[in-house]
Amino acid sequence: MALVSTAVLVTVVAVLVVRSPGWDEVKQAFFSREQFEKSFPDILSGFWTNVKIFLIAEVFILVLALGIAVLRSLPGPVFFPLRALAVIYVDLFRGIPTVLVIYILGFGVPALQLQGVPISPLFWGAVALVVVYSAYVSEVYRAGIDSVHPSQTAAARSLGLTHLQGLRYVVVPQAVRRVIPPLLNDFIGLQKDTALVALLGVVEAFRQSQIEVAATFNYTPYLATALIFVLLTIPMARFTDWLVARDKRRQLAGGAR
C-alpha cells in the first residue's frame, strides 16, 4: 500500500515538474548530463581534500572537546580556573561565526610571517574548524556526562576510584554512547563546513565546482558537488543508527559476545 501511494505521488510530481513552463531551461542549467560528466571527475578529486580535512579535524575535535568537557566537570574550588577557562573557550568559539575564525587564522596567522609557523591555508583552515567544532562538541559531551546519574559516580568512587578514573571507566563510556547521534550531527556539520576552507584559496570540491561554473555559466557542477556531500552523509547516518541499535541490543538482551 505504501509502495502504491508513493509511486502515485512521485509520478504526479514528476509529470507536473517536467511539464511546467521553463523546465527545459532549468534542466539545461542545473541538470546537464554533459556538464555533469565533464566536471564530476575534477570535483571528486577536489572532494578528496574535503575528506582529508574532516577526517583529520574530527580526530582532534573528538579528543580536544572531551578534554574541555572533562575540565568543566572537575569538582572543587581548586579547579575553578580550569573550569572558567573551559567555559570561556566554549562561549567564545561558539559565538564567533566560523567564517571569521577561518579568515582570522587562515589569513591572519600566515601574515605574521613567524618563523616555524606553517603558512599553508589548508593547515589553518583545518585548525579553524577544529577550534570552532571543539567548542560545540564539548557541549555535546557535557550533556552526555551530565545525563549519567550521580549514583554511577558514587558507585565508582565507593570502590576507591579517583574522580578521573570514575570519568574514564564509568561516566564517559556511558555518556559517549548516549550522545553518538548528536556527535554524528556535528560531524556532518563539519563535513559541510570543510567547503568554507575554499575561502582561503584551497581547491576542494566546492572551489573546483566554482571554477567549472565560472567557465561555463552552467550550474550543474554545484549540483554535482551537493550530490557528493549528500552521498557521504546518508550512509554515515545509517551506520550510526546501526551502531546505536547494536549497543542497545547488547545491553538489554544479549550476552557479551
Partner 1 sequence: MNTNAPALVIAGLHKSFGSLEVLRGIDLELAEHEVVCLIGASGSGKSTLLRCVNLLEPVDAGRIVLRGEEITARGVDVNRVRRGIGIVFQAFNLFPHMSVLENVTLGPRKALGLSRAEAEQRATELLRRFGLLDKRDDYPDRLSGGQQQRVAIVRALAMQPGLLLLDEVTSALDPELVAEVLEVIRELAAEGMTMLIATHEMSFARDVAHRVCFLDEGVILEEGAPDQIFGEPREARTQQFLQRIVEAGRL
Binding residues for partner 1, rule: CB under 8 A, are 151-152, 154-162, 165, 169-170, 173-174, 177, 250-257
Of 94 and 246, CB closest to partner 1: 246
Least CB distance to partner 1 at residue 76 (A) = 11
Grid cell locating 42: 575534477
Calculated CA dihedral for residues 135, 136, 139, 144, nearest 10 degrees: -130
Task: Judge whether 214 and 205 are in contact, CB under 8 Å.
Answer: no
Least CB distance to partner 1 at residue 157 (A) = 7
Least CB distance to partner 1 at residue 78 (A) = 14
Least CB distance to partner 1 at residue 147 (A) = 13
Of 83 and 177, CB closest to partner 1: 177
Of 169 and 239, CB closest to partner 1: 169
Burial class (CB in 10 A: 0-12, 13-18, 19+), 65: buried
DSSP assignments along 117-186, one per residue: ----HHHHHHHHHHHHHHHHHHHHHHHHHHHS-HHHHHHHHHTT--HHHHIIIIIHHHHHHHTHHHHHHH
Least CB distance to partner 1 at residue 170 (A) = 6
Grid cell locating 18: 517536467
Residue whose grid cell is 600566515? 110
User: 149 phi and psi, to 5 degrees?
Assistant: -60, 140
Of 108 and 173, CB closest to partner 1: 173
Of 20 and 251, CB closest to partner 1: 251
Q: Within the chain, how many helices (H) and strands (E) appear?
A: 13, 0
